[in-house]
Amino acid sequence: MTNALFDGKVNVIILAQIWSVVIEARLQARKIDFICEILGGQLGAIRYSVAFAVVGTTADFTFLKLKNALRDHTKTIYQDIENSKESGSWFKLPEWFPVQVLDEEALAAKRAQEEQFLQQRARIRSLKEEES
């Protein structure tokens, strides 16, 4: 079992600490008052270091948990697809969907209904022509 902090990823905690040390070294070496005022001195650098460490650790932990949850979710999706392929109904339109794939009996019933409708329309036209 590998440690979550050292599994080949860049550790944000270490980067935050290095950043804090670099800033402190620059402050001590150059004695730049402006940067001291921005960071708030040594106490400010410690505050930034702790903030980056907390945010980085939280982000790392969250990404690890989300990765596992996403992996589980994709597994269930693939299993559902495989199960539906085995049952023969890989893609099924909902009943309310306006476009439906009809089988032979439904197609024959639909054609008969259309023919009946066309015959009724032809009768209505012939009646209108007789009246005029």
Residues 6 and 37 in one domain: yes
Return the beta strands (E) in 66-130 as ranges.
none
Residues 81 and 30 in one domain: yes
Residues 81 and 99 in one domain: no
Q: Supply the pTM of this predicted model.
A: 0.33
Residues 40 and 23 in one domain: yes
Final residue of a domain: which of 75, 90, 105?
A: 90
Residues 78 and 97 in one domain: no
Give the pLDDT confidence of 24-36 residue by residue, as tens digits: 777 676 665 565 5
Q: What is the distance in angstroms between the CA of the first residue and the CA of the last residue of the chain?
A: 92
Name the H helices within the chain: 12-30, 33-39, 41-87, 104-131
Where in the sequence is the domain holding 56, given as residue range(s)?
1-90
DSSP states of 51-78: HHHHHHHHHHHHHHHHHHHHHHHHHHHH
Give the pLDDT confidence of 54-95 residue by residue, as tens digits: 888 888 888 888 888 888 888 888 887 777 777 666 666 666
